Amino acid sequence: MGTDKAIDKLDTIVIGWGKGGKTLAGVLARAGEKVAIVEQSAQMYGGTCINIGCVPTKTLIHDAEQVGGGEPDPQRFERAVQRRDDLTAMLRAKNYSMLNDLESTLVITGHASFIDPKTIVVRTEQEELELSAERIIINTGAQPAIPKIEGAQITGRVHDSTSIQHAPLPASLIVVGGGYVGVEFASMFGQFGSKVTVLDRGQRALSKEDADVAAEVQSCLEDANVTILSHAQVNEISQDDSSATVSFEVDGERQQLSAEAVLVALGRTPATDGLNLQAAGVQTGERGEIVVDEFLATNVEGIYALGDVRGGQQFTYVSLDDHRVLANHLLGDGTRSIRDREAVPYTIFCTPPLSRVGLSEDQARAEGRDIKIAVKKAAAVAAMPRPKIVGDPRGIIKFVVDAHSDQILGAALMHVDSQEVINLVAMAIRVKMTATQLKDQIFTHPSSTEAINEVLGELR
């Protein structure tokens, strides 16, 4: 905290340095407000994304792809972790300066909790500060969920998605959970040379994806030395000095599996512990999420919540759009709402990445829609040589289209560059472009985008 900056007469307090909160803090400060932003750890300036989430994990995934399997090489992994750390340190310092350098913004490192709806206490390493403002914005994000499984506490050889990024490269790894986080880490460590087993309690991993898409992901995971066991109900995790053991059941049959490390990847929960929300009267939901309306206001006047802490889609870019909604509500005409969102895409950064937007085939049929499907393996798309050029032609491309209106309802793209191409498809959905119109667009060559021309020609 800069000692030359006063802490009285604040207009806004932002608790947590997530994407939405930090961006909004800068917007409000530049609009003339006196803003304080409170972050409980100096290692988290900039939020989850740049410190322990998107940026560091995708850096490790990129470096794992350069290895592409083989025997585990701890030194290569250490170099990748060092590059990760150098990048996050640079981004963290930049994020700190972006706000601290603003004259009307006060940065405080400490843990915040409510005293009443307008007042918080911040416990720093040196002191306790009491801050008051007419507006308080909660942006504390989410944290890895710890299940009620004996021995699942994060210590020693048992990790969550944060701690495993600085663990020694395991020769063998058990991933508990076959969701998006579990699949990304399984793919990464498999390519770094670890023998990975994923224990998924569902009928199959990635159960929210269509079966043909999920099967393609599983095939690529198998290429990376990853085995997936479905119907696996984990009962206990134990460990000693040399290994960790997971006890589980598959269709009633008890089994055990040992490895050098275990990753518990069973989702994330809103980070509200210690905020003392009761003192402010802020309402929370069943999973601890802060309940907000379409303008991100809580049930308490003057208190708002942005990003993962309010539940819903846990994406950095959704948190960023939360800032746009609230900035419009506070400084603009107040017409923007989270209900305006349409066709929000996402990417799972396995190798190659799987990206999706809109409805899957299963979802569309469950809604009773009359649909047409265009689907093709990436290797079979003659008009898309880029994946072959870069040496990875694996994957699948699938479109779901309304049979009557020709409107694009959704798409699943698993191929090189899919994380970029999906944004084009999402925009096409938002502007109501028909499948025929998208099919007939002119795209550069050689690119991954041009697969759209050929695949949409397969509609049936």
Phi/psi for 297 (5° steps) reads: -85, 140
Is the pLDDT score of 367 beyond 70? yes
What confidence category does residue 1 fall into, taking pLDDT thresholds of 50, 70 and 90?
very low
The encoded tokens of residue 158 equal: 């048992």
The answer to whether the CB of 258 falls within 8 A of the CB of 288 is no
Is the pLDDT score of 436 beyond 50? yes
Amino acid identity at 22 = K
Q: Find the mean pLDDT for residues 257-285.
A: 96
C-alpha radius of gyration, the chain, whole number = 23
Query: What phi-psi label fits residue 417: left (phi over 0), alpha (psi between -120 and 50 degrees) or beta?
Result: left
The predicted model scores a pTM of 0.94
Measured CA distances, 444 to 292, 384, 386, 448 (Å): 43, 10, 11, 9
346 is known to lie in a ligand binding site:
no
Domains of the chain: 10-142+269-340 (3.50.50.60), 158-266 (3.50.50.60), 346-456 (3.30.390.30)
251 is known to lie in a ligand binding site:
no
184 is known to lie in a ligand binding site:
yes
Query: Per residue in 19-59, pLDDT tens?
Result: 999 999 999 999 999 999 999 999 999 999 999 999 999 99
Residue 74's contacts (CB-CB under 8 Å, 6 or more residues apart) are 168, 169
Is the pLDDT score of 176 beyond 70? yes
Measured CA distances, 276 to 122, 279, 284 (Å): 12, 6, 12
Query: Per residue in 207-235, pLDDT tens?
Result: 999 999 999 999 999 999 999 999 999 99
16 is known to lie in a ligand binding site:
no
Cα separation, 220 vs 216, in Å, equals 6
Residue 6: what pLDDT? Answer: 61
The encoded tokens of residue 162 equal: 């944060």
What confidence category does residue 204 fall into, taking pLDDT thresholds of 50, 70 and 90?
confident
Residue 2: what pLDDT? Answer: 44
- What are the catalytic residues? 445
Is the pLDDT score of 3 beyond 50? no
Amino acid identity at 93 = A
Q: Find the mean pLDDT for residues 286-290.
A: 93
Q: Find the mean pLDDT for residues 64-88.
A: 94
Is the pLDDT score of 120 beyond 80? yes
